[in-house]
Structure 1
C-alpha cells in the first residue's frame, strides 16, 4: 500500500492528529502568556488526543499482521486493546490533570491578563477541531447506513472512527467551556472561575472516557457480527437441500473487518463423510464470496435434537 493510500484509508486519524498537534502548541503558548488554567487544561487535552491518534494508528498497524501459530485468528483485536488504552489515557491524564489544574487554580488563582490571545487560539482551535469532527462524522455516517447514531456507535466494530468522533466532540465541548471560563473570569473579575471551567473540562473528559472504555471492553471480550450478517449467513446455509436444519449461527469479530463464524447444521443422514466434506467446502466458498469479512468459517454437522440440548440461550 502506498503512503497516499494509507493516509486516505486512515484520513480520520491523520486529520485529527494534525489538528491536535497544532492546537496543543497554540494553547500552551496562550496559557503561558495569560496564565489561564482552562487554556492549560485544553493544551493537555490536545496533547492527550494527539497521543491517542498515534496509539490508534499503531494499533491499526499491529492489527494488520498476518496470523501465525501463536495467534491463528490474527492480531486484529490488538486495535481494540489500544482503543482501551486510549480511554484510560483520556480518563487518567486528560480528565485527571484538568481536574487537578482546575482545583489548584481555584484555590490559588493566577492574576488576570488580557484574554485576547485566548479568544484567538480558542477560535482557531474550534475551527480545526470542527473540521476534524466533520471528517469523522462523515466517515461514520457513511458506514452506519440507516441505523440510528447511538445504535450504530454501540454496534460499531471500528474504534478508530468512533473514538475520534467522541474525542472531537469532547474537544468542542471543552473549547466552549474554556471560552466561557475565560470570559466569566474577566467579566466578573473572578479568576477562580477559570479554575472551575478547567474542572468542568475534566468532568467532560471523564464522561467520554467511561463511554469509550465500555465500548472498547466489549470489543476486547468479543462482539458478534451485526444481525443482518448473521441472517445472511443463515439464509445461505438454509438454501442447501442437504441441510435439514440450521441449529445456530455464532459469530465474533476478530478485527473490525474480520469475522469468525461457527455454524451448527443438521445434515441429511444419507450423506457420506466424503460427500459431506465436499459439500461443506463448497458452502464455505459460497459464504466467503457473499460475505468477504468472513475470515474463518467452522461448520459442524450436528443433530438438531443434540444442538437443542446443549445450546445456550443466545445466538449471535
Structure 2
C-alpha cells in the first residue's frame, strides 16, 4: 500500500491508477538496496586499509590511542561483512514458511555487527586504556602516527561522504533532515555505516589529541585517556545501533507521514468507501506489511465481497515495497480514520 519510510510505494487498481497512487506517496522514487551494498563495500575497503595502517602505526609508536583506533577499524571491517550478509539474506524471496519474506534478517545480522563493535571495539579500547594507566609505556616515532591518522581521516572521509550522499538523497524524498533519516530509516546497513564512519572521524580526532598530548607532556596518561574515550564513543554507537535493530525486530510501524499518504491512496480507490483501521509494519529494508479494515462500496453478497477484498489485497501486494496485505471488513459502528 505504501512504501515504508524511505522508499514507500502504493499500488492501486489499474496500472495507470497504480502509477497515480504511487506518485502521491513520499519516497516513492528513493534509492534501493544496491546503493546500500555500494556504501558497505566502500566502507569495507576503507576500513581494511585503515586497520592495517593503524596496526602498524600502533606497534611502531606504542600509542594507546592509535591502538584503540586500530581495534576500532578492525571491528568496523568485520561489521561490514555482517552488513553484506544482512543485505544478501534479507533479499531472499518469500516462501510458505516465511510468507512476508526474509527482510527482518537484515536486523538480525546488523545486530550481530553492533555487538561486534561493542566487544571488539569498545571493550578492547577501554581495557587497553586502563592497562596503560596502570602500567604506562612511552611512545615514539610520532610523525608516523600523525601521518597514519591523517591518511585514515581521508579514507574515512571518503566512506562517510558515500553514506552521507545516499542518506541525503533518501531524506530529501521524505522531507526529513539528515540525522532524522539516519535514525529512522529501515535500512540498517546505511545507518550502521553512517554512524560508524562519523564515530571513526571523531575517534581519529581524539586519538590525534591523545598522541599530541603524549608527545607534548612526555606522559602516557593523555594517550591512555584518549583510548578510553574512543572506547566510550564506540560503546555509545554500538548501544544506539543495538537499540534501533531491536525496535525493528519486535515490530516498528512506518513513518506517520507514509501512513497518512497510504490512507489517502486507499480512500482514493473506487472500491473503498472508508477505512477504519490501518497498520503499516516494517518487515525489512524498504518493505512493509499492510493490515487494515475497510468498508467497500456497493451492497454485494458475502461471496462477492470476499472476492473484492482479495482483489484489493492483490493490488496492494503488487507493489515491490509490500511484503503482504491482509484486509478485513469494517463493522458498521467503527469510526472512520
* TM-score when normalising by structure 2: 0.84
User: Which deviates further from its counterpart, 277-286 or 20-29?
Assistant: 277-286
Partner of 1:54: 81
Write the mapping of 1:102-181 to structure 2, written as runs, cut at 5 A. Answer: 102-145=129-172, 146-181=175-210
C-alpha RMSD over aligned residues: 2.2
Q: 1:42 aligns with which of 59, 65, 69?
A: 69
Go from structure 1 to structure 2 and tell me whether the alpha carbon gap of 1:240 and 1:21 turns closer, same or farther (over 3 Å shift). Answer: closer
Partners in 2 of 1:246 and 1:6 — Cα distance?
A: 32
Answer whether contact 1:62 1:75 (CA < 8 A) is retained.
yes
Write the mapping of 1:247-266 to structure 2, written as runs, cut at 5 A. Answer: 247-266=276-295
Partner of 2:331: 303
Answer whether contact 2:39 2:163 (CA < 8 A) is retained.
yes
Shift in Å, 1:163: 0.7
Partner of 1:213: 242
User: Which deviates further from its counterpart, 250-259 or 21-30?
Assistant: 250-259
Partners in 2 of 1:75 and 1:7 — Cα distance?
A: 17
Partners in 1 of 2:329 and 2:288 — Cα distance?
A: 20
Q: Which runs of 5+ in 1 are unaligned?
A: none
Shift in Å, 1:239: 2.9
Go from structure 1 to structure 2 and tell me whether the alpha carbon gap of 1:283 and 1:68 turns closer, same or farther (over 3 Å shift). Answer: closer
Partner of 1:67: 94
Answer whether contact 1:106 1:193 (CA < 8 A) is retained.
no
Go from structure 1 to structure 2 and tell me whether the alpha carbon gap of 1:251 and 1:101 turns closer, same or farther (over 3 Å shift). Answer: same
Q: Within the alignment, does 1:13 sit opposite 2:40 as a pair?
A: yes
Partners in 2 of 1:115 and 1:130 — Cα distance?
A: 22
Answer whether contact 2:82 2:113 (CA < 8 A) is retained.
yes
Partners in 2 of 1:110 and 1:51 — Cα distance?
A: 29
Partners in 1 of 2:72 and 2:106 — Cα distance?
A: 22
**CA displacement, residues 227-269 of structure 1 (integer Å, 9 cap, x when unaligned):** 2332233223323555442111111111112210011013357
Answer whether contact 1:7 1:14 (CA < 8 A) is retained.
no
Shift in Å, 1:83: 1.3
Partner of 1:25: 52
3-state SS in 1 of match to 2:328: strand
Partners in 1 of 2:261 and 2:33 — Cα distance?
A: 31
**CA displacement, residues 74-123 of structure 1 (integer Å, 9 cap, x when unaligned):** 11101101111222122222111100000111221112312010001000
Partners in 1 of 2:313 and 2:328 — Cα distance?
A: 12
Shift in Å, 1:222: 1.4
3-state SS in 2 of match to 1:32: helix
Answer whether contact 1:41 1:201 (CA < 8 A) is retained.
yes
Partner of 2:263: 234
Partner of 2:108: 81
Q: 1:204 aligns with which of 233, 252, 256?
A: 233
Runs of 4+ in structure 1 displaced over 4 angstroms? Answer: 5-9
* TM-score when normalising by structure 1: 0.90
**CA displacement, residues 25-77 of structure 1 (integer Å, 9 cap, x when unaligned):** 01110111111111111111000000100001011111111222222211110
3-state SS in 1 of match to 2:327: strand
Number of residues of Structure 1 aligned to a counterpart in Structure 2: 304
Q: 2:322 aligns with which of 294, 298, 301?
A: 294
Shift in Å, 1:285: 4.5
Partners in 1 of 2:121 and 2:249 — Cα distance?
A: 23
3-state SS in 1 of match to 2:182: helix
Shift in Å, 1:159: 0.8
Answer whether contact 2:60 2:141 (CA < 8 A) is retained.
no
Answer whether contact 1:126 1:172 (CA < 8 A) is retained.
yes
Go from structure 1 to structure 2 and tell me whether the alpha carbon gap of 1:119 and 1:242 turns closer, same or farther (over 3 Å shift). Answer: closer
